Amino acid sequence: MIGVHGISKRFGTFRALDGIDLEVREGEFLALLGPSGSGKTTLLRIIAGLEFPDRGHVEFNGEDVTGLKVADRKVGFVFQHYALFKHMTVADNVAFGLSVRSRRLRPPKAKIRARAAELLDLVQLGGLGNRYPAQLSGGQRQRVALARALAVEPQLLLLDEPFGALDAKVRKELRRWLRQLHSQMGLTSIFVTHDQEEALELADRVVVMDHGTIEQVGTPEDIYMSPSSAFVSDFVGETNSLPVSVVDGRAQFFDRAIEVESNRVADGPARLDFRPHDVSVCDDQPGCLPMLVTGIYRRGGEWRVEGEVTGIDRALEIDVSATETPPEIGTRLGLRINRAKLFTTGVQP
């Protein structure tokens, strides 16, 4: 189990991390999700021992490792651009961690070679051991980097934007494969990503970060369905947001009461966030929100309808089942919001 307690880190005047507390469970696949500059990579590097915190400490299985260097932490680190040693063959890259051990701990040469071959098989690159990194595709390099990190039998696998440099199709395949490998090997893994889809698809739990602090920690379901802040609601998944004022615990949009199932917030200005699929079309009934349709296109089994609502600048996006006839551009549509989250804003709507 990995514990991170009160970690703060500054780079000059930039506050990269500010009082981070986090528990990583045994065998967990954890995502650090956030926009660039949110501190996610810095946190990963501090856990690895590639960076050292100004305050706070890091524990591995109850043991304080804050002062330990990366070499002594038994972590596998996969770099964003893989950092393969380009003057070494793929097999030598994978064998590196074993071949630099002190003579006492170093397995015999034949054994190292066998282990490297085994790992290359594991990452489905058997037979490519004699190639050089430059002769591999991006996805293959990524897997070599993974095999190399796994060779030292780390207790913790850390991945920095593991799919960032790959094209969409390879990314998707590799994602699934990595998830499998993680469970198959019983690893504890932490990966950094700015791609919320990736985080939601892969991780057991997601840590959403912004401006050097943790906004929310939870399962993908928690994060998506019950975002704890306006930032998380915005950053994860697609969100429509209406400026409302809460009066007597009920949301009002320009004096029009909105009938919606949501959390309770204090009276005053707030924003009402809802997902495109949490909306149904209704006729002119009380509580329906009139929207002018400005665009429509197919998204898989649904129509994505874009529209304008008087009083807000940003277009709304809603999903309508593609089994229904699509609304026409220029027509008015009544919306019923089925499910929403309220966040107090302190700004007048």
Partner 1 sequence: MIDDRKSGSGGRYALIALAIAFLALFLMLPLVAVFVEALSKGIAAYGAAIVEPDALAAIRLTLLVVAISVPLNIVFGIAAAWAIAKFDFPGKSLLISFIDLPFSVSPVVAGLIYVLLFGAQGWLGPWLRAHDIEIIFAVPGILLATIFVTFPFVARELIPLMSEQGRDDEEASLSLGASGFQTFWRVTLPNIRWGLLYGVLLCNARAMGEFGAVSVVSGHLRGLTNTMPLHVEILYNEYNFVAAFAVASLLALLALVTLILKSIVEWRFDYHRGSAGH
Kindly list the residues in this chain that would bind partner 1 in the complex (CB under 8 A).
Answer: 48-50, 69-71, 75-77, 79, 81, 83-88, 96-97, 100-101, 132, 134, 138, 141, 148-149, 151-152
**Nearer to partner 1 among residue 138 and residue 243 (C-beta):** 138
* Cα 181 → chain centroid: 18
Least Å from the CB of residue 103 to partner 1: 12
**Nearer to partner 1 among residue 151 and residue 209 (C-beta):** 151
Q: b or e along 195-210 (b: 16 or more beta carbons within 10 Å of the residue's beta carbon)? A: bbebbbebbbbbbbbb
Please check whether residue 277 is in contact with residue 303, taking contact to mean a CB–CB distance below 8 angstroms: no
**Nearer to partner 1 among residue 44 and residue 251 (C-beta):** 44
Least Å from the CB of residue 50 to partner 1: 6
Least Å from the CB of residue 281 to partner 1: 49
Please check whether residue 143 is in contact with residue 78, taking contact to mean a CB–CB distance below 8 angstroms: no
**Nearer to partner 1 among residue 79 and residue 224 (C-beta):** 79
Least Å from the CB of residue 33 to partner 1: 22
**Nearer to partner 1 among residue 100 and residue 247 (C-beta):** 100
Give every CB contact of residue 101 below 8 A, 6+ residues apart in sequence.
Answer: 107
Least Å from the CB of residue 95 to partner 1: 10
What are the φ and ψ backbone dihedral angles of 282, each rounded to 5 degrees? -135, 165
**Nearer to partner 1 among residue 83 and residue 225 (C-beta):** 83
**Nearer to partner 1 among residue 132 and residue 224 (C-beta):** 132
Please check whether residue 311 is in contact with residue 254, taking contact to mean a CB–CB distance below 8 angstroms: yes
The SS3 assignment for 62 reads: coil
What are the φ and ψ backbone dihedral angles of 221, each rounded to 5 degrees? -60, -45
Q: Residue 212: which region, alpha, beta or left (left: phi > 0; alpha: psi -120 to 50)?
A: left
Cα distance between residue 191 and residue 95, in whole Å: 23
**Nearer to partner 1 among residue 81 and residue 299 (C-beta):** 81
Tell me the Cα Rg of the chain. Answer: 25
Least Å from the CB of residue 4 to partner 1: 18
Give every CB contact of residue 269 below 8 A, 6+ residues apart in sequence.
Answer: 243, 244, 245, 246, 344, 345, 346, 347, 348, 349
Least Å from the CB of residue 165 to partner 1: 8
List 191's β-bridge partners, or say none: 31, 159
Least Å from the CB of residue 244 to partner 1: 48
